Amino acid sequence: MQFFGGSSVAEIAPSPAAPPGTATGLAGNNANMLYIFNRSGVCLLYREWHRPLHTLDPQQDQKLMFGLLFSLRSFTAKMDPTSVDKGNLGVPLLPGQGCSFYSFRTNTYKLSFMECPSGIKIILVTHPKTGDMREPLRYIYNIYVEYVIKNPLYVHGSPIKCELFNTNLDQYVKTLV
């Protein structure tokens, strides 16, 4: 890889190849992890499907993920060339404020993000060659509303323990390509 001035830098590792079967991989083999946070940053749900290296401290992992999203939303709002009101970095944004950040990709994963008007944040980490995940995130949110929010036994703000939600989520994630 060459940068300004012609200096050569070691080649950055390419994305891992998509598993054989489809353009992006086998059905159900693309989703690695899912996080659902409430407005306050409390992780209501964390699920792993295909994460080769499991985290040693899930709570630390969840704090890092929420902090990353907080910082990225703040940064993208600050850098928005169409907005006159830039605000200050680090100041919490209300749902819907700032420009719409919805994903980023590295050579080993893609992180897709959706924030609902209620402040619920859904994060799906997938294979880097996975396409646009905005529609699947909306579908996951609909599953969340149907099986968690409408559940009279669910206490809002508590960790999600609903078996129907988990079953439907797992079935849906298996269909993602």
CATH number for the domain harbouring residue 31: 3.30.450.70
Phi/psi of residue 73, each to 5°?
-65, -45
Q: Within a domain: residue 3?
A: no
Tokens encoding 115: 């924030």
Residue 2 belongs to a domain: no
pLDDT of 90 over the 90 cut: no
Average pLDDT of the chain, as a whole number = 77
Q: How confident is the model at residue 6 (pLDDT cuts 50, 70, 90)?
A: very low
Full domain range(s) for residue 38: 19-81+90-175
User: Quick check: is 10 in a domain?
Assistant: no
pTM of the entire structure?
0.74
For residue 56, is it within any domain? yes
So what's the pLDDT on residue 4?
Answer: 36
Give the pLDDT confidence score for residue 49 in this predicted structure. Answer: 85
What are the tens digits of pLDDT across the range 36-67? 999 889 999 999 887 776 777 888 889 999 98
User: In degrees rounded to 5, what are phi and psi of residue 173?
Assistant: -60, -35
pLDDT of residue 37: 95
Say how many domains are in the chain: 1
* Dist CA 87 CA 137 (whole Å): 28
Residue 1 maps to a domain: no
Q: Is residue 9 part of a domain?
A: no
How far apart, in whole angstroms, are the C-alpha atoms of residue 9 and residue 16?
A: 21
Alpha-carbon distance of 127 to 89, in angstroms, equals 30
pLDDT for 93: 57
Residue 153 belongs to a domain: yes
Residue 5 lies in a domain: no
pLDDT tens-digit map of 11-37: 434 334 444 333 344 445 688 899 999
